[in-house]
């Protein structure tokens, strides 16, 4: 599914030098290497401020808390995402409100959000938290139009979307604040847990820096109860190296996605969708989006059988995500039940992520496609 060693090998010398530099300077927490990475990251995304932290999960919490979301507020997000999209809202002390997804992009559907905002459960909503799932931006034009007249904050869950764009603007600078993850499987990845908040708002940036260090502006003077969620020097140094390559890696992912498209179409197994019948439905890049293909996710009605068939041929695949968040045991108290979000529930039954990473070879892609064609036959 993913071979990280293929990324490491050509970068080995640069990465070891970077790690050695941290050891020599002994700046392990924040420090010079994190500051340099934050500056380079902000320039790369064309945003004013970038604040490194311990994980994407913490970045989501920091972004919400720094934007002033807390107890008494509600935040609308998607049930078809990683758990942190919802748990970070709870950790900020706010109430998550869910709305269903679009069956083509798997992203939060603007019309579903609008419906929620117009119902009683929409009272108290202070922010929208769309997720740029699989590396494709949520419909930011529509979300901006929903947020502006209501004075809602817009927070991006950009954990899977480093380098993705919406109408020529990069994810990370679309909303009031954004959260990135550098978990090792992400398209821009650290050698451990790491994350980042980005924003063009000086106040949110300042509050994020304060909250990531126990609410301190001055050493041992705590203005608020923050948390310890600092980025460490090793991760800052490693991410600086990888940042130089991410544009090329994302281009490689786009080429790989195009090749999957061509191979599946040539094999005659691609169906129009959005729902699969006998074959598979391919993912698509929608108008306005520049997809970075963090994942290449097909739909198949017999998904579990297909996955087993591929595994028997040593072909990796993954399910992101098999259990929609509104049916998770830990989130029962939100009051949702099975049947509340049919698109998310159907997606959870049908999606299958295929191998896609910059170093994936053509013969390996052909084997994936061949395996699926044989299964369908």
* Least Cβ distance, residue 79 to ligand PLP (angstroms): 12
Per the rule left: phi > 0, alpha: psi between -120 and 50, beta: everything else, 214 is left
* Least Cβ distance, residue 58 to ligand PLP (angstroms): 7
* Least Cβ distance, residue 67 to ligand PLP (angstroms): 16
**C-alpha–C-alpha distance, residues 24 and 103, integer Å:** 51
Q: Residue 195 or residue 358: which is nearer to ligand PLP going by CB?
A: 195
Work out the burial of residue 254: count CB atoms within 10 Å of its CB; fewer than 13 is exposed, 13-18 middle, 19 or more buried. Answer: middle
* Least Cβ distance, residue 296 to ligand PLP (angstroms): 15
Q: Residue 91 or residue 259: which is nearer to ligand PLP going by CB?
A: 91
Number of residue whose CB is nearest ligand PLP: 56
**C-alpha–C-alpha distance, residues 344 and 366, integer Å:** 30
Q: What residue ranges bind ligand PLP (CB under 6 A)? A: 55-57, 60, 81-82, 84-85, 131, 157, 159-160, 181, 183, 193, 195
The alpha carbon of residue 174 and the mean position of all alpha carbons in its chain are separated, in whole angstroms, by 14
CA nearest to 170, candidates 304, 41, 261:
41
Q: Residue 60 or residue 231: which is nearer to ligand PLP going by CB?
A: 60
Q: Residue 100 or residue 365: which is nearer to ligand PLP going by CB?
A: 100
- For residue 125, the SS3 value is strand
Work out the burial of residue 363: count CB atoms within 10 Å of its CB; fewer than 13 is exposed, 13-18 middle, 19 or more buried. Answer: exposed
Q: Residue 180 or residue 260: which is nearer to ligand PLP going by CB?
A: 180
* Least Cβ distance, residue 267 to ligand PLP (angstroms): 30
């Amino acid at each position: 599914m993913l071979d990280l060693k293929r990324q490491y090998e050509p970068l080995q010398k640069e990465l070891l030098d970077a790690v050695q530099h941290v050891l020599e300077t002994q700046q392990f927490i924040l420090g010079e290497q994190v500051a340099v990475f934050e500056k380079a990251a902000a320039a790369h995304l064309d945003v004013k401020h970038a604040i490194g932290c311990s994980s994407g999960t913490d970045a989501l919490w920091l972004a919400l808390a720094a934007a002033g979301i807390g107890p008494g507020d509600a935040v609308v997000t998607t049930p078809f995402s990683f758990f942190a999209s919802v748990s970070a809202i709870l950790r900020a002390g706010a109430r998550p409100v869910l709305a269903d997804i679009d069956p083509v992009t798997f992203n939060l559907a603007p019309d579903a959000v609008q419906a929620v905002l117009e119902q009683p459960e929409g009272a108290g909503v202070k922010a929208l938290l769309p997720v740029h799932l699989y590396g494709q931006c949520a419909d930011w034009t529509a979300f901006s139009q929903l947020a502006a007249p209501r004075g809602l904050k817009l927070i991006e869950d950009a954990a899977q979307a480093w380098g993705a764009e919406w109408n020529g603007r990069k994810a990370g600078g679309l909303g009031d604040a954004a959260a990135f993850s550098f978990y090792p499987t992400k398209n821009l990845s650290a050698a451990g847990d790491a994350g980042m908040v980005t924003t063009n708002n000086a106040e949110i940036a300042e509050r994020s820096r304060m909250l990531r260090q126990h609410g301190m502006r001055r050493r041992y003077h705590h203005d608020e109860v923050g948390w310890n969620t600092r980025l460490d020097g090793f991760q800052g140094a490693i991410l600086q190296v990888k940042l130089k390559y991410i544009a090329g890696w994302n281009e490689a992912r786009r080429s790989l996605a195009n090749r999957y498209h061509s191979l599946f179409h040539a094999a005659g197994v691609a169906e129009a969708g959005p729902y699969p019948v006998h074959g598979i439905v391919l993912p698509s890049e929608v108008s306005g989006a520049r997809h970075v293909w963090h994942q290449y996710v097909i739909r198949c009605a017999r998904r579990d059988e297909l996955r087993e068939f591929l595994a028997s041929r040593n072909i990796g695949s993954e399910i992101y995500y098999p259990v929609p968040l509104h049916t998770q045991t830990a989130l029962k108290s939100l009051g949702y039940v099975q049947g509340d979000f049919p698109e998310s529930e159907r997606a959870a039954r049908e999606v299958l992520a295929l191998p896609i990473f910059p170093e994936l070879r053509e013969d390996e892609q052909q084997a994936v496609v061949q395996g699926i064609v044989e299964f369908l036959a």
